[in-house]
């Protein structure tokens, strides 16, 4: 259906025998982890189709009765991706305001055939705005997010400023959409976008967690330049050219050579020896799942890839799982695609995921170090700028528009 604000709520997707169904009448049997609205996944061998109830996809563009929106940090990599995703998903709006720093103010932005001038982000910027997508850095969000909310503007923030703030929902639409209950566009409030590595991880792991329960998760991330912003992407390209030309690499963003190298994530290292990026994965997973006792540990590495993260994930589950069950659960999950061809040694790569909405999963195999069948290994890739940032934020906005 294509109406002014109406939506395609349900997709019927043809699936092979053994597809997972999620009956609402079946409650989670384990009291140690949260009960999800969908209940526990039950495998149905005779099932020929599954109903995907993913985030609502809005089917409209500029319209008089759409929300008045603003993009804070529009000149950055994620800000530009916001515009691309809004256009591709036909998000409805009656007006759009482009906001940026004093350095960006006055520059022009083309969007859907119109030219907009970037305005400097100030306290008065949100007086006539109902929805704002923020990707301007934590300090900017901390200052202007509450101001916008007080003015009745609903904020979806991509920074770390509010992720662990009590009362602020931390949302991956395919994972915990219920966390948005009580928030409506134009009535204020702040919603936090999780960290990119957390989003990509939980897109793949949550379907398995809902069915079998994750007791412990070990994650190693291989993170792209885009996670450090457009300047890091530019420097990676510049260093590559310089090194191939036999020149010394320019190291302005990172203190060491990035091209043809990899190193521990550049976030601050804490007294525990973990860095801040690794602790985001730990804390955010617990909040999103409403499961404070889940055990999570991670090692985050920066690699010379432009815009898609990769992650190696080891799971210890409450219940045994076969490779076939894991694949069935992942095949049924919205926003997840499988690349897992052992005979061709073909599995997900950052190139596969770059510019794509889905998170790609492969190397699906039982953990042979676990004798009771409760161990599982995965390798995943996801676009850091899209699902790791801009797409997730726009999907949140779509859910809010539904309310």
Active site residues: 196, 309
Residue that is written with structure tokens 């939980």 in the block? 202
Residues in the chain: 403
Beta partners for residue 378, in sequence order: 313
| Helix count and strand count (H, E) for the chain | 8, 21
Return d(Cα 339, Cα 348) in angstroms, integer.
6
Please give the structure tokens belonging to residue 56. 């609502």
Three-class SS string for 22-85? CCCCCCCCCCCCCCCCCCCCEECCCCCEEEECCCCEECCCECCCCCEEEEECCCCHHHHHHHHH
What secondary structure does DSSP assign to 101-156, as a single string? Answer: -TTTTT-EEEETTEEEEPEE--GGGGTT-SEEEE-S-HHHHHHHHHHHHHTT-EEE
């Amino acid at each position: 259906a294509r109406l002014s604000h109406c939506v395609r709520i349900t997709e019927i997707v043809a699936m092979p025998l053994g597809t997972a169904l999620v009956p609402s009448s079946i409650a989670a049997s384990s009291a140690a982890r949260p009960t999800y609205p969908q209940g526990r996944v039950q495998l149905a061998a005779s099932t020929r189709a599954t109903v995907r109830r993913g985030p609502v996809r809005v089917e409209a563009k500029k319209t008089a009765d759409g929300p008045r929106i603003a993009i804070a940090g529009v000149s950055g990599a994620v800000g530009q991706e916001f515009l691309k995703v809004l256009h591709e998903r036909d998000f409805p709006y009656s007006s759009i305001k482009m906001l940026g720093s004093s350095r960006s103010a006055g520059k022009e932005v083309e969007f859907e055939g119109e030219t907009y001038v970037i305005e400097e982000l100030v306290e008065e910027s949100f007086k006539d705005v109902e929805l704002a997508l923020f990707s301007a850095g934590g300090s900017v969000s901390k200052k202007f997010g509450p101001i916008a909310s007080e003015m009745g503007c609903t904020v979806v923030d991509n920074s770390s400023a509010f992720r662990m703030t009590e009362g602020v929902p931390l949302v991956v639409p395919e994972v915990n959409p219920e966390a948005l209950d009580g928030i409506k566009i134009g009535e204020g409030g702040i919603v936090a976008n999780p960290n990119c590595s957390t989003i990509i991880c939980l897109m793949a792991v949550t379907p398995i967690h809902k069915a079998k329960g994750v007791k412990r998760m070990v994650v190693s991330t291989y993170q792209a330049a885009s996670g450090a912003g457009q300047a890091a992407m530019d420097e990676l390209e510049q260093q590559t050219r310089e090194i191939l030309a036999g020149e010394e690499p320019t190291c302005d963003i990172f203190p060491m050579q990035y091209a043809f190298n990899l190193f521990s994530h550049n976030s601050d290292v804490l007294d525990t020896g973990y860095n801040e990026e690794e602790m985001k994965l730990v804390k955010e997973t617990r909040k999103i799942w409403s499961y404070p006792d889940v055990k999570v540990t991670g090692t985050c590495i920066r690699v010379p890839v432009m815009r898609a993260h990769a992650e190696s994930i080891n799971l210890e589950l409450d219940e045994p799982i076969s490779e076939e069950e894991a694949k069935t659960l992942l095949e049924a999950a919205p926003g997840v695609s499988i690349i897992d061809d052992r005979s061709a040694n073909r599995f997900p790569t950052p190139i596969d995921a770059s510019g794509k909405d889905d998170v790609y999963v492969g190397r699906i195999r039982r953990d042979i170090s676990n004798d009771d069948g409760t161990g599982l290994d995965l390798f995943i890739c996801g676009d850091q700028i899209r699902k790791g940032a801009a797409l997730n934020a726009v999907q949140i906005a779509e859910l809010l528009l539904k309310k």
